Amino acid sequence: MNLTLKIWRQKNANDKGKLVDYKINDVSPDMSFLEMLDVLNEQLINKGEDPIAFDHDCREGICGMCSLYINGEAHGPDRGVTTCQLHMRMFKDGDTIFIEPFRATAFPVIKDLIVDRSSFDRIQHAGGFISVNTSGNTIDANAIPVNKHDADNAFEAATCIGCGACVASCKNSSAMLFVGAKVSQFALLPQGKVEATDRVLNMVKQMDEEGFGNCTNTGACEVECPKGISLENIARMNREYLSASLKG
Ligand code: SF4
Ligand code: FES
């Protein structure tokens, strides 16, 4: 396939940035999207030009590092996959592909296609954990019964990889699907109940301080989420928040 790529280039956080055109030929439909960018970068390096900066790590849909906005969709046109799992067979010969970073005030661009998602880390630090007594009297987690329904829902919430596609897809740049998943994965388990009140209040407070918008029930986040995290998690977080506010 021969393709035209319109790629966002931005030298640093202060640079205005712009779309730059690149031609790439003989792209195999079996290549992953990131492999196609690797080939382009090799060509740029061979010409003495600055390669395109983009985030990636595991390249198997687990780490949540890859974060491209492709043809107006977070993680591109396929469903239930991250950018690293997207293949060039989703495009056709002669296509023009727009490649941009995830855009949100709370995700400032660092360079080209790389954004700073440390706002997610700070939300996690605010409450995305449980404290365990390690004095020697710790109860083995497997010894605490959890009903199957709650265990399954907690597991599904825990599959959120923190990629940020929900934020990038939302017209309000809301992080509520991410935070809802992180709150839910603990709220549903007995181990998470001890700190439940502080957790939801602190995580939502941090989310607001980071500059994420509110949820207006559009549902774009659920559609674009590579892990199929359900809007149910936002509803659960809202219930947890209301109950914690009343207790507080
Ligand atoms: S909820 Fe989905 S889209 Fe949002 S960070 Fe988690 S995995 Fe990514
Ligand atoms: S590089 Fe790890 S999820 Fe894409």
Beta bridge partners, 174, equal: 213
pLDDT at 52: 98
Distance CA 160, CA 155 (A): 9
> Residue 63 C-alpha to ligand 2 middle, in angstroms?
5
Q: Which residues line ligand 2 (CB under 6 A)?
A: 56-59, 61-66, 82-84
pTM of this prediction? 0.95
Q: Which domain holds residue 26?
A: 3-111
pLDDT at 125: 97
Question: 19 by DSSP, 3-state: which?
Answer: strand
pLDDT at 151: 96
Distance CA 124, CA 23 (A): 40
Q: Are residues 49 and 93 both part of a single domain?
A: yes
Distance CA 129, CA 97 (A): 40
Distance CA 121, CA 118 (A): 5
Q: Are residues 148 and 168 both part of a single domain?
A: yes
Q: What is the pLDDT of residues 160-218, one digit of tens each?
A: 999 999 999 999 999 999 999 999 999 999 999 999 999 999 999 999 999 999 999 99
Q: What b/e sequence results for 20-52 when a residue is b if at least 16 CB atoms lie within 10 Å of its CB, and e otherwise?
A: eebebeebeeebbbbbbbbbbbeeeeeeeeeeb
Report the CATH number that the domain containing residue 68 is assigned in CATH.
3.10.20.30
pLDDT-wise least confident of 26-30, 72-76, 141-145, 154-158? 141-145
Q: Are residues 197 and 229 both part of a single domain?
A: yes
Mean pLDDT of 89-114: 98
The bound ligand whose nearest atom lies closest to the alpha carbon of 163 is 1
Taking CA atoms only, the protein residue closest to ligand 1 atom 8 is 163
Q: Are residues 68 and 36 both part of a single domain?
A: yes
Given a cut of 80, is residue 63 above it in pLDDT? yes
Given a cut of 90, is residue 140 above it in pLDDT? no
Could you identify the residue written with the tokens 């056709």?
Answer: 92
8 and 101 in contact (C-beta within 8 Å)?
Answer: yes
**Which atom of ligand 2 is nearest to 55's Cα?**
1
Q: Are residues 134 and 170 both part of a single domain?
A: yes
Residues in contact with 196: Cβ distance below 8 Å, sequence separation at least 6, in sequence order: 186, 187, 240, 244
- Calculate what percentage of the chain has a pLDDT beyond 70: 100
Report the CATH number that the domain containing residue 138 is assigned in CATH.
1.10.1060.10
Q: What is the pLDDT of residues 3-49, one digit of tens each?
A: 999 999 999 999 999 999 999 999 999 999 999 999 999 999 999 99
Beta strands in the chain (DSSP E): 3-9, 18-24, 68-70, 73-74, 96-101, 109-111, 114-115
Question: 7 by DSSP, 3-state: which?
Answer: strand
Question: 114 by DSSP, 3-state: which?
Answer: strand
User: What is the pLDDT confidence band of residue 248, given thresholds at 50, 70 and 90?
Assistant: low
Mean pLDDT of 62-72: 97
Q: Are residues 141 and 98 both part of a single domain?
A: no
2 and 25 in contact (C-beta within 8 Å)?
Answer: yes
pLDDT at 139: 80
**Which atom of ligand 1 is nearest to 159's Cα?**
7
Mean pLDDT of 140-145: 86
Pairing mode, strands 96-101 and 73-74: unpaired
The mean predicted confidence, pLDDT, of the chain is 96
Choose one of 60, 89, 111: the last residue of a domain: 111
User: What is the pLDDT confidence band of residue 62, given thresholds at 50, 70 and 90?
Assistant: very high
